[in-house]
Chains A and B, each alone.
Chain A
């Protein structure tokens, strides 16, 4: 897919193929299954697989935003993508922490959603739904400090989001080597195989 259209409407540049490949790779690592099996399970509506796949997309998205390097500080995922209750139409709840809210950020996130959603539907042969795969909330540093708006969710006791990426390298060092810690459900809940999330540096997103 080209993001250039003759209509003058320009899509986001994100390389959806890479995004999906890496999300499938995360599923393969975590569940110890082959890619074709993963895709079949996604088509069959396997909740655990859909959650892992969504976690992988959120991870890819976080690295894509990091690669742009424009005032993004942190990216979190929460909700069904991390508690293994996703289905084929579930959205991916993401919180993006930025230095300052700007309309260009929201515009980009909406364009990313449109692109990723269209490709996701095509990947799984879904005709109409979901209309929006990403439910992204932008939180500025002030909201985060004051715990207002979705800044409050970042400190929620029961739905504490998982940090997928943070601009501060020191913070990244706090993660376990193989990936971020989960707050609620341990990876061991998955029935097939162990979990080995792909380290951040292996994700290659952004080559449009």
Chain B
């Protein structure tokens, strides 16, 4: 048998393998176990979600046909407070993925020490095939199906992949009609007019800025003139770029799906943001900026900078390019931008990586603020939100940094240990009912 036949045979058999995300989450959890003295009984609890709900959602399409979709809501752990986590609409949603993400939210909320547990929800659907009215009907029916689980003191959803403020507004409205009470704190990420928080839109990018400032300070790098490259110029990347520039950093590399741009003397961020606010698709393509050259996305990742902020997609820094990364600091604005191989290579080279679980936690912290404002019926000024966000994230970074130094471990592991230990402690202190 020729080698090509072997290749074909193996390829055919393993082509569609998907690694179970829940197993991936559990594996990280088990790794923490080796670094902590959390009792076995508590581990048994930490490894399982508290509650998983699967719902069938009949959706009447605009043409009158009915399609039954499947949705989920998982409450992973509520020992530290009501569950918190987004709702995603995506064809790839599976119960295992939702469980994994709910667990991840549990540790994420605990790392930044906000009084939440973790949850997640989703509907297996392709929202690009749905009209606005279909999307609204789907959202409202899904809300009704998970209504027994959610609540301001029980489980608070938020936007996630393919869901937005409008979807949250529909959820608030549906809950109000089901309960007969106004209850804006049932979800976060709503429109401002429906009870959303000022500053929510910028929160994740602002959090990335705070994480960057914190790590630069600890490494003794002056932010004034520090060079920064940012991959991804969407909600997170563009806001982080603007805020860091305001702090005196020199943004010398930016990119989005349309390409990457390099300006060794530093971009005028006001000019760049003004351009993308009116450009086709709000993309950087055609950016008219003096002293700028177009480079490849790969080149952007390997620019000679103090800070690299991957704020686009997963797995951008890999074994292939990690050896060429010249940044001293990587702040993970996106989820999972660094592969395990790259993590190892960068760690070996002494690059400091602020992990995603901490670096992009600004969004969930601001969600917490929105919830606080809703249950107090007392909206804050944006300035107050921003200041409190800074305090929480700087404290979290300080705690993670200290733990990493004490135990001589990576910031990624330290953040995970901190989060898991906090949840474990809460479980122990509360005891097991009955």
Contact = CB atoms under 8 A, between A and B. Distances in A.
**Do A and B truly interact?**
yes
A9 B41 CA distance: 26
Of A5, A71, A104, most B-chain CB atoms within 10 Å: A104
Contacts of B35: 103
A68 interface: yes
B343 A3 contact: no
Contact of A102 (B92, B319, B347): B347
Contact of A21 (B10, B23, B30): B10
A135 to B, nearest CB: 14
B13 to A, nearest CB: 5
Given A5-B18, A9-B25, A9-B100, 16 more contacts: A1-B14, A1-B15, A3-B315, A8-B356, A9-B336, A11-B19, A24-B10, A36-B1, A36-B5, A103-B31, A104-B347, A108-B341, A108-B344, A110-B31, A122-B13, A208-B320
A13 interface: yes
A112 B319 CA distance: 13
A52 B340 CA distance: 28
- Assign chain A's interface to a size class: 35 or more
Contacts of A17: 7, 10-11, 14
A119 B319 contact: no
Contacts of A114: 19, 23-24, 27
B1 A123 contact: no
B76 to A, nearest CB: 14
B134 to A, nearest CB: 22
Contacts of B348: 70-71, 102, 104
Interface string B13-47: 11111111101110110110011000000000000
B410 interface: yes
Interface in A21-75: 21, 24-25, 28, 34-36, 39, 67-68, 70-71
Nearest to B32: A103
Interface in A88-128: 102-108, 110-112, 114-115, 118-119, 122-123, 125
Nearest to B30: A110
Interface string A128-168: 00000000000000000000000000000000000000000
Nearest to A112: B340
Contacts of A24: 6, 10
Given A7-B97, A12-B339, A104-B343, A68 B315 contact: no
A20 interface: yes
A144 B104 CA distance: 36
- Classify the secondary structure of B's interface with A: helix
B343 A34 contact: no
Contact of A122 (B14, B21, B97, B319): B14
Given A103-B31, A208-B318, A13 B413 contact: no
A4 interface: yes
A5 B13 contact: no
Given A68-B341, A70-B344, A11 B13 contact: no
A103 B413 contact: yes
A151 B101 CA distance: 38
29 contacts: A1-B18, A4-B314, A5-B19, A6-B161, A8-B334, A8-B335, A9-B24, A10-B339, A11-B339, A13-B318, A13-B319, A13-B339, A13-B341, A17-B10, A21-B10, A24-B10, A25-B6, A28-B1, A28-B6, A35-B1, A35-B6, A39-B9, A104-B340, A104-B343, A107-B28, A107-B344, A107-B412, A122-B13, A208-B319
Contacts of B314: 4-6, 8, 10
B20 A35 contact: no
A206 interface: yes
B413 A107 contact: yes
Contact of B313 (A4, A12, A16, A118): A4
- Assign chain B's interface to a size class: 35 or more
Nearest to B341: A13
Contact of B409 (A5, A103, A108): A103
Contacts of A13: 315, 318-319, 339-341
A21 B4 CA distance: 10
A7 B335 CA distance: 8
A103 B314 CA distance: 21
Contacts of A208: 318-320
A39 B278 CA distance: 58
In the A-B complex, list the 8 residue pairs whose CB atoms are closest, starting with the nearest. Answer: A8-B335, A35-B6, A10-B336, A34-B1, A4-B315, A8-B336, A108-B340, A9-B24
Contacts of A9: 21, 24-25, 100, 104, 336
A59 to B, nearest CB: 16
Nearest to B323: A69
A7 B18 contact: no
A24 B5 CA distance: 12
B89 to A, nearest CB: 12
B389 to A, nearest CB: 21
A99 to B, nearest CB: 9
B19 A115 contact: yes
Contact of B339 (A3, A28, A67): A3
B345 interface: yes
Given A5-B314, A10-B340, A35 B5 contact: yes
B385 interface: no
A125 B410 CA distance: 37
Contact of A106 (B13, B31, B319): B31
Nearest to B26: A114
Interface in B85-125: 90, 92, 97, 100-101, 104
A7 B161 CA distance: 10
